[in-house]
């Protein structure tokens, strides 16, 4: 089969022929129609991820058609259009993943290929309202956003929500989920154009964080029917700017971060946290139940993932460089013929 392979860290992705896997006991073989990139893929390519083994077929997100079932797998899966849950072996504790937890695309070969073998329990039927490309954009980003926003931050329709870094895949899913749930959503971005695109999705407004007084300016923008503070804040940046999120959080607010793109959190004043009774959470990936709930929500509300660009498998290295640039708005998808 044709696959996009990382031969060694800090090397370009190479498209070549490798052996097609076969479904073992409890597994299926999926003929992939589309796959999408995550920042994790670029970090692995750069050697910035633990326990990297090469050569490896990266890719955590994919959609396709089941073409083979292994022993013990219900034969009715054959021919079905499916979506793959990339969060494997979470374990029995919903609060924290087990030591055996792993993400598709390392250490196991992932979705940047014509076929992938996967345990059948990690399949769900593709939502009918989504194309293969749209469905492939959903799994990792959608699951990460769902756990951060719904499970950890306990979103309600009465919340005013701030989502930082509008334009990234997870942030966009958090925006879409919060809007679909009926909450009031605001965003930050370093790009005015991305802010306008988020507003077009249904956000009330936003602010460019490159402005040194962004946090004060944002509070001025949102003042209205209630205090201009935020009940829920979903962040991917961390870094020195996290202290400003403390400043604009409402008393009793829930702040959840799933990344640290700008480095270690600094300059937080403890008194601001405990006097405001703030709740600060970290989150990553999610359980099988959360993945199922997220898919049900997407079906119910007809959520359509935002796609920046669709490229071919042969253009995988080009897709990696675009992901690394951070200029995309939405997911970068590889169409697999």
Contact 140, 86 (CB under 8 A): yes
What are the sequence ranges of the domains in the chain?
2-138+305-335, 143-282
In tens, the pLDDT along 305-315 reads 999 999 999 99
Q: What is the pLDDT of residue 228?
A: 75
Interatomic CA distance for residues 167 and 187, integer angstroms? 10
In tens, the pLDDT along 219-234 reads 999 986 556 799 999 9
Q: What is the SS3 assignment for 228-255?
A: CCEEEEEECCCCCCHHHHHHHEEEEEEE
CATH H-level, domain 143-282: superfamily = NAD(P)-binding Rossmann-like Domain (3.40.50.720)
Contact 250, 226 (CB under 8 A): no
Which pair of tokens denotes residue 270? 């403890």
Contact 187, 209 (CB under 8 A): no
Q: Is the pLDDT of residue 47 over 90?
A: yes
Residue 105, sorted as left (phi over 0), alpha (psi -120 to 50) or beta, turns out to be left
Interatomic CA distance for residues 232 and 283, integer angstroms? 14
Average pLDDT over residues 190-213: 96
Distance of CA 209 to the CA centre of its chain: 22
Helix (H) or strand (E) holding 68: strand 61-69
- Whole-model pTM: value is 0.95
In tens, the pLDDT along 144-168 reads 999 999 999 999 999 999 999 999 9
Q: What is the pLDDT of residue 226?
A: 58
Do strands 81-84 and 61-69 pair parallel, antiparallel, or not at all (unpaired)? Answer: antiparallel
In tens, the pLDDT along 78-121 reads 999 999 999 999 999 999 999 999 999 999 999 999 999 999 99
Q: Is the peptide bond before 73 cis (omega within 30 degrees of 0)?
A: no
Residue 79, sorted as left (phi over 0), alpha (psi -120 to 50) or beta, turns out to be left
Interatomic CA distance for residues 229 and 282, integer angstroms? 21
Q: Is the pLDDT of residue 169 over 60?
A: yes
Give which of 161, 179, 175 is closest to 233, Cα–Cα.
161
What is the percent of the chain with per-residue pLDDT over 70, rounded to a whole number? Answer: 99
Contact 73, 23 (CB under 8 A): yes
Q: Which position has the token pair 């849950």?
A: 85
Cβ neighbours, 10 Å, residue 148 = 31
Let me know if 271 is exposed, middle or buried by CB neighbors in 10 A (0-12, 13-18, 19+): exposed
2-138+305-335: CATH class? alpha beta
DSSP for residue 197? H
CA 42, 46, 50, 51 torsion: positive or negative? Answer: positive
Q: Is 59 helix (H, G, I), strand (E, B) or coil?
A: coil
Distance (Å) of CA 182 to CA 118, 195, 239: 35, 19, 30
**pLDDT tier for residue 337 given thresholds of 50, 70 and 90:** confident
């Amino acid at each position: 089969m044709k696959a996009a392979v990382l031969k060694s860290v800090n090397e370009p992705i190479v498209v070549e022929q490798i052996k097609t896997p076969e479904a073992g006991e409890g597994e299926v073989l999926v003929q992939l129609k589309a796959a999408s990139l995550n920042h994790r893929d670029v970090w692995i390519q750069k050697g910035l991820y633990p326990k990297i083994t090469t050569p490896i077929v990266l890719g955590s997100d994919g959609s396709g058609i089941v073409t083979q079932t292994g022993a013990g797998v219900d034969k009715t899966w054959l021919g079905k259009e499916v979506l793959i849950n990339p969060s494997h072996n979470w374990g029995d504790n919903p609060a924290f993943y087990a030591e055996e937890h792993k993400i598709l695309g390392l250490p196991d070969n992932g979705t940047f290929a014509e076929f992938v073998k996967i345990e059948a329990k990690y399949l769900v039927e593709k939502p009918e309202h989504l194309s293969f490309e749209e469905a492939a954009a959903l799994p990792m980003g959608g699951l990460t956003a769902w756990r951060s926003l719904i499970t950890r931050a306990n979103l309600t329709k009465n919340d005013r929500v701030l989502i930082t870094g509008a334009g990234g895949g997870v942030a966009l899913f958090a925006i879409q989920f919060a809007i679909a749930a009926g909450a009031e959503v605001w965003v930050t971005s370093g790009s005015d154009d991305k802010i306008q695109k988020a507003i077009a999705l249904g956000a009330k407004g936003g602010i460019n964080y490159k402005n040194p007084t962004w946090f004060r300016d944002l509070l001025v923008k949102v003042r209205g029917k209630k205090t201009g503070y935020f009940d829920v804040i979903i962040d991917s940046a961390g870094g020195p700017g996290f202290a400003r999120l403390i400043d604009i959080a409402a008393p009793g607010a829930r702040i959840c971060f799933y990344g640290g793109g700008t480095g270690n959190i600094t300059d937080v004043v403890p008194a601001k946290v405990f006097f405001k009774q703030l709740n600060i959470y970290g989150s990553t990936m999610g359980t099988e139940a959360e993945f199922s709930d997220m898919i049900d929500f997407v079906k119910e509300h007809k959520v359509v993932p935002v796609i920046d660009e669709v490229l071919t498998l042969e253009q995988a290295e080009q897709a990696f460089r675009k992901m690394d640039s951070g200029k995309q708005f939405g997911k970068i998808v590889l169409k697999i013929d």
